[in-house]
Every structure is written in structure tokens, then in C-alpha cells.
């Protein structure tokens, strides 16, 4: 069975003022500017700090390159994969940090304070791209870090540690991949493949029947989200950790659930058109589908994911 290639993906986020002071000054003795995952959401703000010394607290993702050539810095501990906006390669809630020339980073599961020089892309429409294909508008270079002591961490981090340990945030990201799928399924495609005999089997953009198959077939990629009790189970898991601390997250999940149900209804009721045309990507003619409410669904999909990104960024070390 062929599978759709989904790249991990970006919006960066909002800060709740749970801050510590910078962990060190600049290379020439100047004070490093304290940035956050919230402030990193503003390109204009970052551009004003381009080539300047900055400092930020966070955790290393376990998927940071083993050779220590750079790290993925996140505001959550124990994360294996950098977060991305669904169906994109744009980093979300993740910063890339590069060491000083000739040096390598060691790995730690403890919270760290990073200090280095901020590099910002020439324009918001341009991106840096790393060896893994991830895209981002800024990075921290010529950097080092120090490990933060437990006594340096705020009391509010106890609840955040619980939610991080539970794996719930990964489940919420999976939910958003599902929501993105039902809102934008005509943009998804199956890649071309080369069979053992050398024959090339051309890829194609999804038909409506394919989209339903991914939702309705037992064990298919997004069948978990199509289940009517999926969101209820997710909310119950969050409430078991701390219903009050994470009430805003529950509201976001309910909003995403309502959007997904509307998008599912459009798919089931044939609220789309299609036309046959030549597709350069696959070098053949094929039927291309367009949702009647495509623009509105995509807009709301982006908005609710951004609200989640903003919420996620409120938890700073």
C-alpha cells in the first residue's frame, strides 16, 4: 500500500512571562538579548536583532544530529522530532542552534540556556534549509550552552513537565495532521514509484475516494481522527493531568474537532469539483479535485493551528 509522504512542519510561538535572566553576556562583554519562542514568531522583531548576541532557554530534541553539528532547541523536554506545521517542512516551536567553529555539541536531557549570534534570513519569504530539508527564517550560530539547575526552573514548569511526560502534545500534533488532511486533502498526493523491474508507476493527487479511504479504512493513516470518540479520549487524557492548567488547550482541541467535522461533511456530501488536466509533477493527465469551501477551510485550519502554536509557546523554561 502506498503512503502519502508527510514531512514533519511552522509557526513559532508566544511567551508567558516565566522567564529567567540571560545565562551569559555577548562575546565582547555586551549583554545578550533574551528571546523566546513567542518573540520568534515576529520576523520584524528578529530582524532587529540580526547579527546580535541572544540567549534563550530550552531543551534539546533527541533527534538532534548525533555528530553534534547542531541542535534542535525546543521548549519541551523528551521530544524525538522537531515540530512542524502539518504537511510542510517549516519548523514550529523549534530553533536550530549551531556551535562555534570547530566545536561540537554534546547531548543532554536537562534544560539548557543557549547564547549565540542570531542570523535572520534576508526576507520573510526566504528561508534557510538544513541538511534534513527543514525550513526556517532564523538560526542561532557561534553558540554554546550551559545546563540549568533544577532550582533555576519555575514552579509552573511542574505542570508542563507532566504534560510533556504524558506524550499528549505528540497526540495533539497528530490530531492537527488529521485536521489538515480533511481540510486540504486535494493537495495531498501519492509519489511516483519505480517497480523492481524498472517500470515507473506514476504518482497522483488524491481523488475523493482515496481521501475517504484514508479516513474510513481500518488502520488507515487518518482513521484515528475520523473516530467520533477520538477528541473525547484526548480531552480526557489532558483532564487527568490537570484540567485547569490546560483548559485553553482543551478549547483549542474542541475548535479543531468542530472544523474537522465540517470538512468531513463536505467530503462525504460531495462538496467539491474536479477537472482533468495535465500535471507537470507526474507528467500525465489526471483528475484534480477542488473543495468548494477550500479557501475558508484552509484559512480556519491555519488559524486554529496558530492558536495551538501560540498556546504551546506560552510554556517557557
- Residue with more model confidence, 88 or 261: 261
162 lies in the same domain as 299: yes
Q: With respect to residue 292, please indicate whether it lies within any of the assigned structural domains.
A: yes
CATH number of the domain at 118, please: 2.40.50.140
Examine the fold and report which residue of 87, 116, 149 is the final residue of a domain before the chain moves on.
149
- Is residue 28 assigned to a domain? no
Residue 155: what pLDDT?
A: 57
From 30-34, 83-87, 290-294, the region with the lowest mean pLDDT: 83-87
Alpha-carbon distances, residue 259 vs 6, 11, 182, 272, 303 (angstroms) = 21, 19, 9, 17, 11
219 in a structural domain: yes
Residue 214 falls within a domain, yes or no? yes
Does a structural domain hold residue 179? yes
Q: In this structure, is residue 3 part of a structural domain?
A: no
Pair 172, 284 in one domain: yes
- Per residue in 90-102, pLDDT (tens digit) is 555 788 999 999 9
Q: Is the pLDDT of residue 44 over 70?
A: yes
Look at the chain and report how many structural domains it folds into.
2
Question: What does the pLDDT look like over 6-40, one tens digit per residue?
Answer: 333 333 322 222 233 346 444 445 689 998 887 88
| pLDDT on residue 29 | 54
Query: Residue 135's domain spans which residues?
Result: 33-149
Asked whether residue 104 is assigned to any structural domain, the reply reads: yes
Percent of the chain with pLDDT over 90: 48
Amino acid at each position: 500500500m502506498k503512503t502519502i509522504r508527510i514531512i514533519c512542519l511552522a509557526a513559532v510561538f508566544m511567551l508567558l512571562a516565566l522567564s529567567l535572566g540571560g545565562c551569559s553576556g555577548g562575546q565582547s562583554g555586551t549583554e545578550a538579548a533574551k528571546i523566546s519562542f513567542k518573540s520568534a514568531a515576529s520576523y520584524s522583531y528578529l530582524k532587529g536583532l540580526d547579527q546580535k548576541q541572544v540567549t534563550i532557554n530550552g531543551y534539546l530534541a533527541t533527534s538532534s544530529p548525533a555528530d553534534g553539528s547542531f541542535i534542535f532547541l525546543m521548549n519541551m523536554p523528551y521530544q524525538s522530532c522537531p515540530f512542524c506545521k502539518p504537511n510542510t517542512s517549516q519548523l514550529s516551536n523549534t530553533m536550530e542552534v549551531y556551535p562555534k567553529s570547530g566545536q561540537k555539541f554534546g547531548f543532554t536531557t536537562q534544560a539548557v540556556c543557549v547564547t549565540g549570534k542570531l542570523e535572520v534570513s534576508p526576507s520573510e519569504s526566504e528561508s534557510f534549509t538544513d541538511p534534513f530539508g527543514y525550513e526556517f527564517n532564523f538560526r542561532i550560530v557561534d553558540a554554546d550552552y550551559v545546563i540549568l539547575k533544577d532550582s533555576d526552573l519555575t514552579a509552573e514548569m511542574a505542570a508542563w513537565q507532566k504534560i510533556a511526560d504524558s506524550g499528549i502534545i505528540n497526540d495533539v500534533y497528530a490530531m492537527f495532521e488529521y485536521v489538515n488532511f480533511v481540510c486540504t486533502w486535494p493537495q495531498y498526493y501519492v509519489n511516483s514509484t519505480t517497480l523492481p523491474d524498472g517500470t515507473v508507476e506514476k504518482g497522483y493527487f488524491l481523488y475523493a475516494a482515496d481521501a475517504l479511504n484514508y479516513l474510513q479504512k481500518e488502520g488507515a493513516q487518518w482513521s484515528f481522527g475520523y473516530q467520533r470518540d477520538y477528541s473525547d479520549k484526548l480531552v480526557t487524557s489532558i483532564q487527568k493531568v490537570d484540567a485547569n492548567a490546560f483548559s485553553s488547550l482543551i478549547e483549542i482541541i474542541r475548535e479543531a474537532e468542530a472544523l474537522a467535522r465540517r470538512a468531513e461533511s463536505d467530503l462525504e456530501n460531495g462538496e467539491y469539483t474536479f477537472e482533468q488536466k495535465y500535471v507537470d509533477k507526474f507528467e500525465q493527465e489526471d483528475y484534480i479535485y477542488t473543495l468548494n469551501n477550500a479557501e475558508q477551510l484552509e484559512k480556519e485550519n491555519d488559524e486554529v493551528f496558530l492558536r495551538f502554536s501560540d498556546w504551546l509557546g506560552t510554556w517557557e523554561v
